[in-house]
Amino acid sequence: MKEFKKSSKLSNVRYEVRGPIVSLADKMIASGESVLKLNIGNPAAFDLYAPDEIIKDMLFNVQQCQGYSDSKGLFPARKAIMQHYQLRGVPNICLDDIYTGNGVSELIMLAMQALLDNGDEVLVPAPDYPLWTAAVNLSGGNAVHYLCDEQANWAPDIADMRRKVTSNTKAIVVINPNNPTGTVYPREVLLDIIQVARENKLMIFCDEIYEQLLMDGVEHCSMASLAPDIFVVTLNGLSKSHRAAGFRAGWMVFSGKKDMAHDYMEGVEMLASMRLCANVPAQSIIQTALGGYQSLNELMQPGGRIYEQRNYIYERLNSIDGISVGKPNGAFYIFPKLDVKKFNITDDFQFALDFLRQQKVLIVQGTGFNWVNHDHFRIVYLPRIEDLAKAMDRLEVFLSKYQQKITFSAPVEEKAAEITAE
């Protein structure tokens, strides 16, 4: 019998944040088990809902949103995005340089497809939000990972980044604030990265989807505002800041030295036209969302849910023997380190699987974010403190007797078939 196989382009693409362990957790839930899910950055799944005002606006606008929009996006949405970046000091943007998309995800794929030929290299952080690596590889390029340094509060290691530039390198990806580490990069670090781009004539993609998720008075600086002489693509959206991940509202902005990138921008325009346009009702709320009072700020300050949950998870993790972690002050992720010798851990996938099977808590292993060692995992601390407390109690019990034994030998992509609930 003829078998339909997936494209070979997918052979070096991994996306474990929605991979086999998550499928197992879903099966466990479907069979009636209660699993604590600390794996997904989806605020509405944890009763953190979009502001009423944008819901009302969408309902009000929806009647007028039945047709396609311009493939770049609705005029008021793009105008509001332009003004947002003007206020943040980003130079040389105009309406024509702004594209709305079905979430940042769609635009990451589109931006990489428009750029890459086989063998081109893009510098991507390790750890990263893995869609970046997947999008580069799926577009025929090679994601080359530059290390972020835990000892330097997970700032990119500039020397490592420099070492990894080759004649095939086209761009540097920066995720700030960062997923999975929760770090907000200081201005000096951004300037150092810009210098690497400047010296090597590279473009910069800056994923700033957590731009507004800041704690402890830390400031976020839009990378593009520091780099008027570099071609910068900034990506952002409403999924996290406005707790509206399901609406799929994102955007991408070109700025800086655009005369180096006419051909690339033409490519983006062609691909954007081919997907016709982004979800129009979702675009219709961008103007309201970006203006006026930002209810998110209440969640990020003392007494606010995200702030208090951050403090709780940070303290509980550090009180567990064999775990250490710095305090993140952006986004809603924490990326703790495991004492691998103590627990005999050689495979973090197995660690996440064992924790799920034994304690019914779902986390994502560090290598799922292209981290280089099997010694970290990511927690999304959006659940309420009662649930975080249960998860931490279970982690404590689990680690009090954990000694890893590898129960399978297949490579990652084949592990799915071996995994069953116990």
**Which residues of this chain interact with ligand PLP, rule CB under 6 A?**
41, 103-105, 129, 175, 179, 207, 209, 237, 239, 245, 250
- CA gap 421, 27 in Å, rounded: 8
Task: State which residue, 134 or 399, has the beta carbon closest to ligand PLP.
Answer: 134
Taking the complex as a whole, how short is the minimal distance between the CB of residue 240 and ligand PLP, in angstroms? 7
Task: State which residue, 42 or 71, has the beta carbon closest to ligand PLP.
Answer: 42
The pair of structure tokens assigned to 265 is 């921008």
β partners of residue 377: 365
Taking the complex as a whole, how short is the minimal distance between the CB of residue 8 and ligand PLP, in angstroms? 26
- CA gap 305, 382 in Å, rounded: 8
Q: Where are the alpha helices (DSSP H) in 34-94?
A: 52-61, 75-87
Taking the complex as a whole, how short is the minimal distance between the CB of residue 41 and ligand PLP, in angstroms? 4
Residue 54's alpha-carbon distances to 44, 238, 242, 245, in angstroms, are 14, 11, 9, 13
Task: State which residue, 235 or 340, has the beta carbon closest to ligand PLP.
Answer: 235
Taking the complex as a whole, how short is the minimal distance between the CB of residue 239 and ligand PLP, in angstroms? 3
Task: State which residue, 103 or 328, has the beta carbon closest to ligand PLP.
Answer: 103
Task: State which residue, 19 or 316, has the beta carbon closest to ligand PLP.
Answer: 19
- CA gap 38, 364 in Å, rounded: 8
- CA gap 131, 111 in Å, rounded: 12
Q: Is 4 exposed, middle or buried (0-12, 13-18, 19+ CB in 10 A)?
A: exposed
Taking the complex as a whole, how short is the minimal distance between the CB of residue 378 and ligand PLP, in angstroms? 11
Taking the complex as a whole, how short is the minimal distance between the CB of residue 130 and ligand PLP, in angstroms? 9
Task: State which residue, 81 or 345, has the beta carbon closest to ligand PLP.
Answer: 81
Asked if residues 289 and 281 have their Cβ atoms less than 8 Å apart, the reply is: no
Task: State which residue, 69 or 179, has the beta carbon closest to ligand PLP.
Answer: 179
Torsion of CA 226, 296, 282, 203, to 10 degrees: 20
Kindly report the backbone phi and psi dihedral angles of residue 353, in degrees, each rounded to the nearest multiple of 5, phi listed first.
-65, -45
Q: Which residue is nearest to ligand PLP (CB)?
A: 103
Asked if residues 292 and 285 have their Cβ atoms less than 8 Å apart, the reply is: no
Taking the complex as a whole, how short is the minimal distance between the CB of residue 105 and ligand PLP, in angstroms? 3
Residues whose CB falls within 8 Å of the CB of residue 145, separated by 6 or more in sequence, listed in order:
123, 124, 125, 126, 128, 133, 164, 370, 372
**Other CB atoms within 10 Å distance of the CB of residue 95:** 13
Residue 389's alpha-carbon distances to 280, 309, 315, in angstroms, are 40, 10, 11
Task: State which residue, 103 or 419, has the beta carbon closest to ligand PLP.
Answer: 103
Taking the complex as a whole, how short is the minimal distance between the CB of residue 237 and ligand PLP, in angstroms? 4
Task: State which residue, 92 or 294, has the beta carbon closest to ligand PLP.
Answer: 294
Taking the complex as a whole, how short is the minimal distance between the CB of residue 166 and ligand PLP, in angstroms? 25
